[in-house]
Amino acid sequence: MNGTLTFLGTGTSMGVPTIGCPCSVCTSSNPRDRRLRPSVMIRWNEIQPESGVAPRHRAVVIDTGPDFREQALRTGLAHVDAVFYTHGHVDHILGLDDLRPLSFIAHRAGGLIPLYASPHTAEILERVYDYTFSPNATYATRARVEIRPLADRTTIHGVEFLRIPVLHGDMEVAGFRFGNAAYLTDVSEIPESSFELLEGVETLVLPALRHKPHPSHATVAQAVGWAERIGARQTFLTHIAHELGHDETNSMLPESVRMAWDGLELPVTLRRAGEAA
């Protein structure tokens, strides 16, 4: 099944430009040096079995950071079928409340937007958004969403999403594989068992914070090394700090590894649940 992967944001937790910073990247006129907080969207057309019925447009978002409202408006996002959360840091969850208008549409149709999260991430969401998830919540216009357990495999309208466990410092976070593509962000280490889950990926997204080592984020060199080991046809780097200029960094990378940018769209082949890999 054909789909599209869209980068909603490719920046780090502080975004680029970073507030108060006069560096060459933060003051760059290159639009690809402007990076909102990290998030992606996967879209596809669900073909209806009835003859003559138009395809239904499906959309899944991975993480709703502080810039989600701006990202959704920029891409013309009109509905969301599900949200997957990688982990509970604020640059990945603080835009949850901006799901409200989309959730009202879903609620009028008789449903809630499902949010898939690990137990640790779910606990953070419930605490931060107590006014949304508390059994005693009375806020009339709270988001019509529900948290569901993040399983190893989750099917959204026939498309399978596979959880890829990775490490962010000493915290386990979730990456995701969908068909021939995979998205990993906030990674300092990939366990051996997760490399096995990435076999055969053709379009790979990896984080690359900067060149200087960081205790909980990959460097450019680490990301390139992982990309070479996984062997994807093309790898794109995300979760990029202001130490990396887009054009300058691209010129240093192998041809099979490129810097992603906000708004980049890539064709991907999605896997239907039950299909052979």
User: What confidence tens digit (pLDDT) does each residue in 69-128 have?
Assistant: 999 999 999 999 999 999 999 999 999 999 999 999 888 888 899 999 999 999 999 999
Three-state secondary structure of 154-207: EEECCEEEEEEEEEECCEEEEEEEECCEEECCCCCECCHHHHHHCCCCCEEEEE
pLDDT tens for each residue of 147-192: 999 999 999 999 999 999 999 999 999 999 999 999 999 999 999 9
Residue 274 in any domain: the answer is no
CATH code of residue 185 = 3.60.15.10
Residue 276 in any domain: the answer is no
Residue 91 in any domain: the answer is yes
Whether the predicted model's global pTM rises above the 0.75 cut: yes
Residue 51 above 70 pLDDT? Answer: no
Q: Structural domain tally of the chain? A: 1
Q: Is there a contact between 83 and 114 (Cβ–Cβ < 8 Å)?
A: yes
Q: Which domain holds residue 198?
A: 2-48+55-269
Residue 277 in any domain: the answer is no
Residue 275 in any domain: the answer is no
